[in-house]
């Protein structure tokens, strides 16, 4: 489909870890199309969702055309798919081990969908920031092994204490009011979700054939985005210096045509500033809850012993796994 080493650059990990920001940064080159949480395409279409460009998904100049191609093709082959039925199929296959017939249909549908996105946008690769929640735990493997797309994983991690803080702020509306609502159950759910999503990435990366995987921390991305972009550039084989130059000039990152994601996607980015408010404001109880994540947190370079900075990136090298 293209000379790009990857057709899919999949941003994996738990939510609240900077995936929307990373998606927006990587989509600032002609080679890449930032799709946002691509797994939600058919669900958003069925539920009158809105693209980050401001139009409804069905009327968006990109997604409207992609849906017309995909659903029109299904009609011509007498499959009679609808956005609702394809949303259900996607959820069924990505959240559990699907039946062989569902897996074959899934592969056909998503091959057509990815092909339509490439045709409509003219891109060489698609940024899919669907992450690895419970409802999409098998998506990276399905795209790589069933749909046969060259897929590279960027495993984005974040200090679990910061994740509890972010989850504690609640929805996008509540987050913008800066009135976090903490509770013991919310902290426990956040850590369970963080642990499960990151283990899912480890699982996907180790399944055979292994997926090329780069592990990157939110803290490194937001503190030194230029260095992070250099690291990603080496991994994906595409020069990202133009993106660094854009940041140096202070040019804003526009919203693009992303699906779902956090509220920042709809307004773009003016500056990249790490959210470190948790260091002073996170309740002691949530700091204790975060200790349950220690085995994986330590693996990713977080000590959890205090509110100090994470272990410096010079102490914990970025991990990359690549097997041809």
Q: Which domains does the chain have, with CATH numbers?
A: 8-321 (3.40.50.300)
Tokens of 5: 């080493």
Tokens of 296: 């994986």
pLDDT at position 307 over 60: no
User: What tokens does 294 get?
Assistant: 């220690």
- Do the Cβ atoms of 8 and 152 come closer than 8 Å? yes
pLDDT band, residue 242 (cuts 50/70/90): very high
Cβ-based neighbours of 3, under 8 Å, separated by 6 or more: 124
Residue 58 predicted with pLDDT over 70: yes
Kindly compute the dihedral angle of the four CA atoms of residues 52, 53, 54, 60, in this order, to the nearest 10 degrees: -110
The DSSP symbol for 18 reads: S
pLDDT of residue 210: 83
CA pair distance 306, 319, nearest whole angstrom? 24
pLDDT tens column, 142-160? 999 999 999 999 999 999 9
The reported pTM is 0.89
- Tell me: the pLDDT tens digits for 99-130? 899 999 999 999 999 999 999 999 999 999 99
202 burial level (CB within 10 Å; 0-12, 13-18, 19+): middle
> Looking at residue 181, what is its pLDDT?
58
Instruction: With a cut of 90, say whether residue 233 has pLDDT above it.
Output: yes
Assign 168 a pLDDT band (cuts: 50, 70, 90). confident
pLDDT of 199 strictly over 50: yes
What pLDDT was estimated at residue 98? 84
pLDDT at 315 (0 to 100):
45
pLDDT tens digits, 279-291: 999 999 999 999 9
Whether residue 87 contacts residue 42, with contact meaning beta carbons closer than 8 Å, is answered with yes
Question: What is the C-alpha separation between 85 and 91, in angstroms, rounded?
Answer: 10
Rounded to 10 degrees, the C-alpha dihedral 260/261/263/267 comes to -90
Q: What is the pLDDT of residues 83-95, one digit of tens each?
A: 999 999 999 999 9
Q: Cα(153)–Cα(236) distance, rounded to whole angstroms?
A: 10
């Amino acid at each position: 489909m293209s000379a790009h080493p990857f057709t899919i650059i999949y941003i994996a990990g738990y939510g609240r870890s900077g995936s929307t920001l990373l998606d927006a940064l990587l989509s600032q080159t002609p080679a890449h199309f930032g799709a946002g949480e691509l797994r939600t395409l058919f669900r958003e279409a069925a539920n009158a969702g809105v693209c980050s460009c401001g139009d409804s998904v069905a009327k968006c100049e990109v997604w409207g055309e992609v849906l017309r191609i995909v659903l029109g093709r299904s009609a011509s082959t007498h499959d009679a798919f609808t956005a609702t039925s394809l949303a259900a199929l996607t959820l069924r296959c990505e959240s559990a081990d699907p039946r062989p017939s569902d897996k074959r249909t899934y592969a056909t549908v998503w091959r057509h969908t990815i092909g339509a996105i490439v045709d409509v946008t003219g891109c060489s690769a698609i940024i899919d920031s669907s992450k690895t929640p419970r409802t999409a735990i098998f998506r990276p493997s399905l795209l790589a092994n069933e749909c046969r797309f060259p897929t590279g994983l960027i495993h984005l991690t974040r200090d679990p204490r910061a994740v509890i803080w972010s989850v504690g702020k609640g929805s996008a509306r509540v987050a913008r009011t800066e009135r976090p609502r903490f509770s013991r159950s919310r902290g426990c759910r956040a850590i369970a979700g963080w642990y499960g999503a990151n283990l899912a990435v480890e699982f996907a990366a180790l399944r055979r054939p292994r997926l090329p995987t780069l592990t990157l921390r939110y803290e490194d991305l937001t503190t030194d985005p230029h260095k992070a972009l250099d690291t990603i550039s080496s991994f994906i084989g595409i020069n990202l210096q133009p993106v660094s130059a854009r940041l140096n000039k202070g040019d804003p990152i526009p919203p693009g045509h992303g699906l779902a994601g956090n509220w920042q996607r709809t307004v773009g980015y003016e500056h990249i500033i790490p959210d470190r408010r948790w260091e002073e404001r996170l309740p002691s109880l949530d700091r204790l809850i975060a200790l349950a994540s220690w085995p994986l947190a330590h693996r990713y370079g977080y000590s959890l012993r205090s509110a100090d900075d994470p272990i410096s990136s010079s102490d914990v090298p970025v991990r990359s796994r690549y097997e041809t």
